[in-house]
């Protein structure tokens, strides 16, 4: 086991820049998620860590040692692939043993490690089967087993659950979490699924278009997104984001967008008013309520447009001030389209971004 550090890693294929100046640290025993939409460079980043791709510039350190010049087989890492990449011509046992045999481990050591891993993952009865005789979940487990037996410095996961059906994905997610707790190993996990990211990782690295947008624990990513992209990417349904402008009069800040005008809470440090190209106000659907919150609120009146009933809660599409707000409320009131409602936006749940930077309230 070891820690991982990336220093200014960049990658381009010819003219196309895939990763720009990525720096991050993963502590020994940490579980870090590389999250982002497809094409954001997260898989490339993982492959650079694995040594399957060569970075254009920057350096990768595993356990404090620079590994940029090392091939994958010299880096002592294990990887679980999206397609599992089990060797189809080998039995489960031989799949698990393969990497150990290549590294010249003794027969007894191989046997005992396979035994441990099989027990840990419930593979004991499957050891003599071929991959094609296994179900998707079983293959997934073998792929993890192949990583575990190696006792590598780093575990790399490339969207390992994305080929499973929804129910199995939930089960495996829990198993993975338990596995991490039991092994205490350093894990890097690529996914585009925010639920996996929020539940599995102790740190999320959110990437978009080859750039790191935010590195933080899941709760911080959710509660204090660093920019409108992060704010919109995390959470389902996504945060309401309204473009407009901020101005102040007599110490009070006001956000306006079309017919909409909202009073804002006090701002920690002054923000520029001139020369600002983009001001975005955001609030999560679950933070909007139809009743006053008790604290300072900005009320807005509007009309219900669409109601989506999810059972556990209702998603309302409300038109207010010429803007559409998505609101998530408990299904207590039977609301019909065109009903007039008042939306209360609690001040401490508002997010303001000026030129893609988060503005902190006092």
Partner 1 sequence: MSRRILLGIGILLTVIVSLFPFLWFVVTSLKSQRQVEAVPPTWLPSGELGFYQTALVDYHLTDYILNSIVVAGSTTVVTLGIGIPAAYALSRLRVGGKTWILGGLLGVSMFPQIAIAGPVWRILDQMGGLNTRWGVLLPYVTLTLPLVIWILASFFKELPTELEEAAKIDGCGPWRTMILVMLPLAAPGIFTAAILTFIYAWNEFFFALLILTQPDKQTLPVGIALFQGEFTMPWGELAAASVIATLPLVVLVLLFQRWIISGLSAGAVKG
**83 touching partner 1, by CB under 8 A:** yes
Tokens of 104: 């010249």
Residue whose token pair is 């930077």: 357
Residue environment code for 129-139, b if the CB has 16+ CB neighbours within 10 A, otherwise e = ebbeebeebbb
Asked if residue 63 lies in contact with residue 26, where contact means CB atoms within 8 angstroms, the answer is: no
Asked if residue 276 lies in contact with residue 247, where contact means CB atoms within 8 angstroms, the answer is: no
Q: Which stretch binds partner 1 (CB under 8 A): 44-52, 263-271, 278-286, 351-359?
A: 44-52
List 71, 171, 219, 252, residue binding partner 1 (CB under 8 A): 71
* Smallest separation (angstroms) from partner 1 to the CB of 67: 13
Q: Which stretch binds partner 1 (CB under 8 A): 37-45, 46-54, 269-277, 346-354?
A: 46-54
List 29, 63, 68, 72, residue binding partner 1 (CB under 8 A): 72
287: three-class secondary structure by DSSP: helix
**1 touching partner 1, by CB under 8 A:** no
Tokens of 295: 């604290």
* Smallest separation (angstroms) from partner 1 to the CB of 153: 12
Q: Which stretch binds partner 1 (CB under 8 A): 83-91, 119-127, 174-182, 183-191?
A: 83-91
**73 touching partner 1, by CB under 8 A:** yes
Q: Which stretch binds partner 1 (CB under 8 A): 48-56, 220-228, 231-239, 270-278?
A: 48-56
Span 129-188, contacts to partner 1 by CB under 8 A: 146, 150
CB count, 10 Å around CB of 98? 17
List 29, 58, 99, 321, residue binding partner 1 (CB under 8 A): 99
**335 touching partner 1, by CB under 8 A:** no
**68 touching partner 1, by CB under 8 A:** no
Tokens of 360: 């902190």
Instruction: Give the span between the Cα atoms of 33 and 95, in whole angstroms.
Output: 26
**82 touching partner 1, by CB under 8 A:** yes
* Smallest separation (angstroms) from partner 1 to the CB of 138: 17
- Residues 6 or more apart whose CB falls under 8 angstroms from that of 212 comprise 22, 23, 24, 205, 206
> Please, which residue, 83 or 171, has the CB nearer to partner 1?
83
Instruction: Give the span between the Cα atoms of 20 and 207, in whole angstroms.
Output: 10
**102 touching partner 1, by CB under 8 A:** yes
139: three-class secondary structure by DSSP: helix
Question: How many residues make contact with partner 1 (CB under 8 A)?
Answer: 24
Q: Which stretch binds partner 1 (CB under 8 A): 4-12, 80-88, 307-315, 336-344?
A: 80-88
List 98, 129, 216, 313, residue binding partner 1 (CB under 8 A): 98
List 79, 121, 187, 231, residue binding partner 1 (CB under 8 A): 79
Beta bridge partners of 156: 79, 188
Instruction: Give the span between the Cα atoms of 320 and 257, in whole angstroms.
Output: 11
Asked if residue 318 lies in contact with residue 305, where contact means CB atoms within 8 angstroms, the answer is: yes
263: three-class secondary structure by DSSP: strand
> Please, which residue, 113 or 146, has the CB nearer to partner 1?
146
Residues that bind partner 1 (CB under 8 A): 50-52, 71-73, 77-79, 81-89, 98-99, 102-103, 146, 150
């Amino acid at each position: 086991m070891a820690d991982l550090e990336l220093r200014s890693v960049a990658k381009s294929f010819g003219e196309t820049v895939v990763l720009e100046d990525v720096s991050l640290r993963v502590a020994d025993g940490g579980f870090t998620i590389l999250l982002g939409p497809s094409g954001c460079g997260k898989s490339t980043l993982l492959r650079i860590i694995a040594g399957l791709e060569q970075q254009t510039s920057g350096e990768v350190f595993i356990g404090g040692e620079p590994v940029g010049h090392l091939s994958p087989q010299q880096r002592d890492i294990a990887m679980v692939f999206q397609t599992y990449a089990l060797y189809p011509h080998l039995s489960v046992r031989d799949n698990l043993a393969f990497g150990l045999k290549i590294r010249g481990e003794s027969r007894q050591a191989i046997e005992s490690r396979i035994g441990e891993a099989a027990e840990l993952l419930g593979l004991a009865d499957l050891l003599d089967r071929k991959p094609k005789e296994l179900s998707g979940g079983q293959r997934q487990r073998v792929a993890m087993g192949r990583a575990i037996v190696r006792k590598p410095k780093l575990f790399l996961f490339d969207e390992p659950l994305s080929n499973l059906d929804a129910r199995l994905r939930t089960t495996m997610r829990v198993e993975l979490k338990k596995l991490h707790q039991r092994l205490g190993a350093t894990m890097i996990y690529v996914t585009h699924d925010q639920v996996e990211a929020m539940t599995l990782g102790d740190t999320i690295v959110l990437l978009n278009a080859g750039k790191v947008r935010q590195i933080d624990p899941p709760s911080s990513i959710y509660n204090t997104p660093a920019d409108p992209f992060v704010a919109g990417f995390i959470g389902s349904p996504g945060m309401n984001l309204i473009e407009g402008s901020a101005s102040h009069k007599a110490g009070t800040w006001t956000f306006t967008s079309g017919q909409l005008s909202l009073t804002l809470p006090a701002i920690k440090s002054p923000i520029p008013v001139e020369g600002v190209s983009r001001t975005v106000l955001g609030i999560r659907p679950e933070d909007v309520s139809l009743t006053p919150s008790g604290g300072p609120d900005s009320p807005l009146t509007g009309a219900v447009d669409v109601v989506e009933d999810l059972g556990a809660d209702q998603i309302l599409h409300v038109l207010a001030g010429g803007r559409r707000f998505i609101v998530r409320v408990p299904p207590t009131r039977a609301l019909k389209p065109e009903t007039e409602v008042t939306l209360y936006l609690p001040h401490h749940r508002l997010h303001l971004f000026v030129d893609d930077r988060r503005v902190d309230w006092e």
